Amino acid sequence: MTQTTFGFITAVLAAAVEAGTPILYAALGEILTERAGILNLSVEGTMLVGAVSGFLATVATGNLAAGILGAAIAGGIIAAIHAFLSVTLKVNQVVSGLSLSMFATGVSGYLGKPIIGVAAPVSFKSIPIPGLSKIPVLGPMFFNHNLLVYGSYVLVAFLWYFVYKTRPGLHMRSVGESPRTADSLGINVSFVQYTYTIIGGALSGIAGAYLSLAYAPSWIEQMTAGRGWIAIALVIFAVWNPLRAMIGAYLFGGIEALGFRIQVVGATISPIVLKMMPYIFTIAVLIITTARSASYKNEAPQALGVPYERE
Amino acid sequence: MPQEDGNIVEMHGITKRFPGVLANENVTFCVRSGEIHALLGENGAGKSTLMNILSGLYKPDEGEIFVKGKRIQIGSPRHAIEAGIGMVHQHFRLVENFSVAENITLGMSTPRFLLDMAAIEDEVLALSKEYGLQLDPKAQIWQLSVGEQQRVEIVKMLYRRADVLILDEPTAVLTPQETRELFATLERMKETGRSIIFITHKLEEVMQVADRVTVLRAGRVAATADKTDVTSRQLASLMVGKEYSPTLPGKTALETAPVLTLSDVTAYGDRGTVALDGVSLEVKAGEILGIAGVAGNGQRELTEVITGLRKTTSGTISLLGQDITNRTPLEVINSGVSFVPEDRYGTGMAPNLSLVDNVILKSYRTRIMCKGPFINYDAARRQTQGLVEQFQVKCAGIYSRARLLSGGNAQKLLLGREISSDPKLLIAAYPTRGLDIGAAEAIRSILINQRNQGIAILLISEDLEELMRLSDRIAIMYEGKIMGTLDRDEWDIERIGLLMAGVRDVQHEEALT
């Protein structure tokens, strides 16, 4: 292998993690929401609201932490609307999620009008981890990134543990599997569903802020470019498992990154085709995952999207 | 105010209304410590409603509840559990994709955060051994038989230290042997001072296991008595409200050729596991072949492969010599198969459509129901009116929605529709499940009439008594296999029960005991 191809692969892998992280945050949020039995399709719009809110908060305060907090709160508010509609009013969750996504997209455009073209006063910069970042391939891939990327590692590990090894995690899963059972054992179904829907929305908000404060520090309308939808597809690919979501997110990120780099290297594939890659890949992945149905069917929360009513 | 020492639960003047229904009216119900108290009544008498109030799922409109002498408000299942009341519902409250131990610890408040599953599994194992309820704490619920799932439910309540255990129709899903084991467990729990409320509509069970009995009829208490003071005949008339004598049309003997033949049929279930394993059977014209077995042993899949709703992986199915293996449902219907599915409102009918639309769901393609490309609604109305009169379906008019029919009337209409197409073979899955005695008898006599007219009937039921009354032969299913087929003079409840539990060699088993 020549030095240049080696360098190329390393660069693509590093870019895969960087591009996969926003999808990962959003997918982790959606995993929690769906594990509690609520299907929230508003991720795309919620990410946009998160992106614009995070950017606005950072411009106002000059503080990145304030930006992340603002994004999380804004995402949580959008998700709270979805929770109210689907848990309390028991409307069709697909309809609610889709219309909220459109609504939130509109809101983000409105809020973002004054800041189009404004440069972010601060943004998340790469902080190489001493020692680890020097490991060939793995170093640049995992240990030369910004704080939000490192945060996602911790979050994946924590959520995996939370989902499978803790009581609140067990209770959350039981609500998504069989709310009737959970209810009969004194678990407050509505409370659980509200909680994880809102947390899921907050994570989508953070995913959006990653785009506007780290990935491409600025506000551009529709800057999520379908990543919210990819995140929803990724949840199915990951069979609702945070660890598999991480792998999947980097796979999607890699394809996005590859598209860029191939153009830079000067390959003769149409850039339009390259830009289509992540979306075509999403469709392919969904078909393959759902076709080898056994594990997908058994892992899917059995009560996903079904409003719970006591007989 | 509590009336009597020794009562662990007292419910006074309980009234519960649902829109259009008075489910419980001024019900007073007391349970003593350390007794098995049967709550007897027909379907719809208000037994489950009363117990759902005690277990915190419903709030009563009127009345007071005392537990251990203290008046309490049971606003949610959590309150009931804290007061020591646990309920095993008829449809189990278990998470299928969780392990036994996970289901048992579900909803508890300790440990608060980290789950040490190994420790919980040990506790569950110890508890299950103490009460002789064999369980594998690591097994997933969906892998367990219905009887085992019931054990999980009981251990779940013991784990919560419930003093009062409510069991809603617990024997409906068990083999006779499993029922005996359950009764032995209940006795053991009684000895430890626990009280058991046993909801049932079966008189023999009351006489067998209960200390006292309360009879509910139409939402009101008809009587409370010690078992030793009443006869089952008295209980029956208290329950039904009038002298009750079952009559079924007589059977005429017929000896004929097979209508349906399955040879070596194998098929997968929804989970990808083998649901039918080399099933061979035959139904002759003019006979009722009963299928006995605990639900979930392949009965549903059996009906589905015959009706074309599920693909077989091997074997052949033929109807009157014609191969119908893996044909589409329409081809199967056209070859003369009628089907009364177990899920009446889901598979059998479109609940939001009118009675008329439901009646022509299958026949709308036929010449008489058509006027060119349109439906001949005159003919449809006439046929519906005819069925409603013939089978005495009580309804608010033939254009009302099917969902408004009671279970019995829905079943009569469904059965009527299926018969009116002059089938060669009628498949009836659990046709009387959930119906009151009157409606169930009506359904049974329709089935016998059809048999006497020469139709081959495949009857699936959990009610062994029903099967033994109606069937000419009984085939027993266990884990997707036919364990044996018994004629009228060969069967008894013991033998069927053992086969239902998967014990193939009956003689051998008898020699051992």
CB spacing of A170 vs B113 below 8 angstroms = no
In a domain, A309, yes or no: no
Q: Which chain A residue has the Cα nearest residue B157?
A: A185
Q: Are A78 and A104 in contact (CB under 8 A)?
A: yes
Contacts of B268 in chain A (CB under 8 A): none
B48, B94, B106: best mutation site toward chain A, by most A Cβ within 10 Å? B106
Give the other-Cβ count within 10 Å of B413's Cβ. 25
**Residue-level pLDDT, tens digit, chain B, 513 residues:** 555 678 999 999 999 988 777 889 999 999 999 999 999 987 778 898 999 999 998 999 999 999 999 999 998 888 999 999 999 998 899 999 999 999 999 999 888 899 999 999 999 999 999 888 889 999 999 888 888 999 999 999 999 999 999 999 898 778 888 888 899 999 999 999 999 999 988 888 888 999 999 999 888 999 999 999 988 888 888 887 765 455 566 666 666 789 999 999 999 988 788 999 999 999 999 899 999 988 888 999 999 999 999 999 999 999 998 999 999 999 999 999 999 998 888 888 998 999 999 999 988 888 888 888 899 999 999 999 999 999 988 888 899 998 888 888 899 999 999 999 899 999 999 998 878 777 888 899 999 999 998 899 999 998 888 899 899 999 999 999 999 999 888 888 888 888 888 887 555 445 444
Domains in chain A, number: 1
Among B240, B260, B275, identify where a domain stops: B240
DSSP code per residue over B106-125: TT--SS-SB--HHHHHHHHH
Most distant CA atoms of chain A, gap in Å:
67
Rounded to whole angstroms, how far apart are CA atoms B475 and B473? 7
The shortest C-alpha distance from B247 to chain A (Å) reads 36
- B67 DSSP β-pair partners: B9, B70
In a domain, A304, yes or no: no
Percent helix / strand / coil, chain A, rounded to 5: 75, 0, 25
In a domain, B81, yes or no: yes
Please report the residues numbered 97 through 116 in chain B whose beta carbons come closer than 8 angstroms to any beta carbon of chain A: 97-98, 102-103, 105-108, 111-115
Check residue B347 and give its pLDDT.
Answer: 87
In a domain, A307, yes or no: no
Rounded to whole angstroms, how far apart are CA atoms B318 and A124? 71
User: Measured between CB atoms, does B118 come within 8 Å of chain A?
Assistant: no
Check residue B247 and give its pLDDT.
Answer: 56
- Regarding whether B311 and B264 lie in a shared domain, the answer is yes
Q: Are A37 and A19 in contact (CB under 8 A)?
A: no
DSSP annotation of A155: H
Q: Which residues of chain A have pLDDT under 50?
A: none
- Regarding whether B214 and B258 lie in a shared domain, the answer is no
Which of A166, A181, A302 is opposite residue B113, by nearest beta carbon?
Answer: A166
The number of residues making up chain B comes to 513
Percent helix / strand / coil, chain B, rounded to 5: 35, 25, 35
Q: Are B38 and B225 in contact (CB under 8 A)?
A: no
Contacts of A302 in chain B (CB under 8 A): 96-97
CB spacing of B78 vs A186 below 8 angstroms = yes
Give the pairing type, strands B62-67 and A127-128: unpaired
Q: Are B197 and B173 in contact (CB under 8 A)?
A: no
CB spacing of B95 vs A298 below 8 angstroms = no
Which of A166, A177, A310 is opposite residue B95, by nearest beta carbon?
Answer: A177
Q: Is A36 helix (H, G, I), strand (E, B) or coil?
A: coil
Q: Are A43 and A232 in contact (CB under 8 A)?
A: yes
Q: Which chain A residue has the Cα nearest residue B88?
A: A184
- Regarding whether B20 and B73 lie in a shared domain, the answer is yes
Among B240, B264, B285, identify where a domain stops: B240
Find the angle CA(B272)-CA(B278)-CA(B283) to the nearest 5 degrees.
120
Contacts of B76 in chain A (CB under 8 A): 186
CB spacing of A180 vs B93 below 8 angstroms = yes
Domains in chain B, number: 3
In which residue are the tokens 């254009």 written?
A: B399
A181, A183, A296, A308: best mutation site toward chain B, by most B Cβ within 10 Å? A181
Rg of chain B over Cα atoms, rounded to whole angstroms, equals: 24
DSSP code per residue over B61-95: SEEEEEETTEEE---SHHHHHHTTEEEE-SS----
Rounded to whole angstroms, how far apart are CA atoms A246 and A156? 7
For position B145, which CATH number holds?
3.40.50.300
- Regarding whether B195 and B139 lie in a shared domain, the answer is yes
- Regarding whether B441 and B324 lie in a shared domain, the answer is yes
A-B Cβ pairs (cutoff 8 Å, strict): 74
ipTM of the complex: 0.89
With the C-alpha atoms ordered B498, B499, B500, B503, is the resulting torsion angle positive or negative? positive
In a domain, B186, yes or no: yes
Q: Are B483 and B454 in contact (CB under 8 A)?
A: no
In a domain, A186, yes or no: yes
On the question of a cis peptide bond just before residue A130, with omega within 30 degrees of 0, the verdict is no
DSSP code per residue over B203-265: HHHHHHH-SEEEEEETTEEEEEEEGGG--HHHHHHHHHSS---------------EEEEEEEE
CB spacing of B106 vs A302 below 8 angstroms = no
pTM above threshold 0.90: no
Check residue B476 and give its pLDDT.
Answer: 94
- Regarding whether B406 and B303 lie in a shared domain, the answer is no
**How remote is the C-alpha of A127 from its chain's centroid?**
22
Starting at the earlier edge strand, list the strands of the sheet with B258-268.
B274-284, B258-268, B314-319, B322-323
In a domain, A140, yes or no: yes
In a domain, B349, yes or no: no
What are the angstrom distances between the C-alpha of B387 and each of B358, B392, B425, B445?
12, 8, 20, 16
In a domain, A311, yes or no: no
CB spacing of A165 vs B114 below 8 angstroms = yes
CB spacing of B77 vs A294 below 8 angstroms = no
What are the angstrom distances between the C-alpha of B11 and each of B62, B80, B235, B397?
11, 13, 22, 40
Which of A168, A180, A186 is opposite residue B113, by nearest beta carbon?
Answer: A168
* Spatial CA neighbour of B208 closest among B7, B87, B36: B36
Check residue B474 and give its pLDDT.
Answer: 94
Q: Are B124 and B253 in contact (CB under 8 A)?
A: no
Starting at the earlier edge strand, list the strands of the sheet with B62-67.
B21-32, B7-18, B62-67, B70-72
- Regarding whether B310 and B223 lie in a shared domain, the answer is no
Contacts of A310 in chain B (CB under 8 A): 57
- Regarding whether B447 and B309 lie in a shared domain, the answer is yes
B24 sits in which H/E element? strand B21-32
CB spacing of B95 vs A184 below 8 angstroms = no
Rounded to whole angstroms, how far apart are CA atoms B263 and A295? 31
In a domain, A305, yes or no: no
Q: Which domain holds residue A114?
A: 3-299
Contacts of A168 in chain B (CB under 8 A): 113
- Regarding whether B308 and B184 lie in a shared domain, the answer is no
A206: left (phi over 0), alpha (psi -120 to 50) or beta: alpha
Q: Which chain A residue has the Cα nearest residue B270?
A: A294
Please report the residues numbered 24 through 83 in chain B whose beta carbons come closer than 8 angstroms to any beta carbon of chain A: 55, 57, 76-78, 81
Contacts of A170 in chain B (CB under 8 A): 98, 102, 105-106, 115
Among B240, B271, B294, identify where a domain stops: B240
Contacts of B140 in chain A (CB under 8 A): none
Helical segments of A36-146, H only: 43-61, 64-83, 93-112, 138-142
In a domain, A306, yes or no: no
Q: Are A242 and A231 in contact (CB under 8 A)?
A: no
Contacting B with CB below 8 Å, chain A residues are: 165-168, 170-171, 173-174, 177-178, 180-187, 294, 297-299, 302, 310-311
DSSP annotation of B340: E
Starting at the earlier edge strand, list the strands of the sheet with B36-40.
B85-88, B164-168, B195-200, B36-40, B212-217, B220-226
In a domain, B131, yes or no: yes
B10: left (phi over 0), alpha (psi -120 to 50) or beta: beta
DSSP code per residue over B376-402: -HHHHHHHHHHHHHHTT---S-TTSBG
Q: Are B438 and B416 in contact (CB under 8 A)?
A: no
- Regarding whether B433 and B405 lie in a shared domain, the answer is no
Rounded to whole angstroms, how far apart are CA atoms B428 and B307? 12
What are the angstrom distances between the C-alpha of B381 and each of B316, B355, B372, B460?
39, 9, 17, 31
In a domain, B348, yes or no: no
With the C-alpha atoms ordered B130, B136, B137, B141, is the resulting torsion angle positive or negative? negative
- Regarding whether B113 and B35 lie in a shared domain, the answer is yes
CB spacing of B96 vs A177 below 8 angstroms = yes
- Regarding whether B259 and B156 lie in a shared domain, the answer is no
In which residue are the tokens 């023999």 written?
A: B204
Q: Which domain holds residue B409?
A: 354-421
CB spacing of B113 vs A294 below 8 angstroms = no
Which of A170, A184, A311 is opposite residue B102, by nearest beta carbon?
Answer: A170
Give the other-Cβ count within 10 Å of B199's Cβ. 23
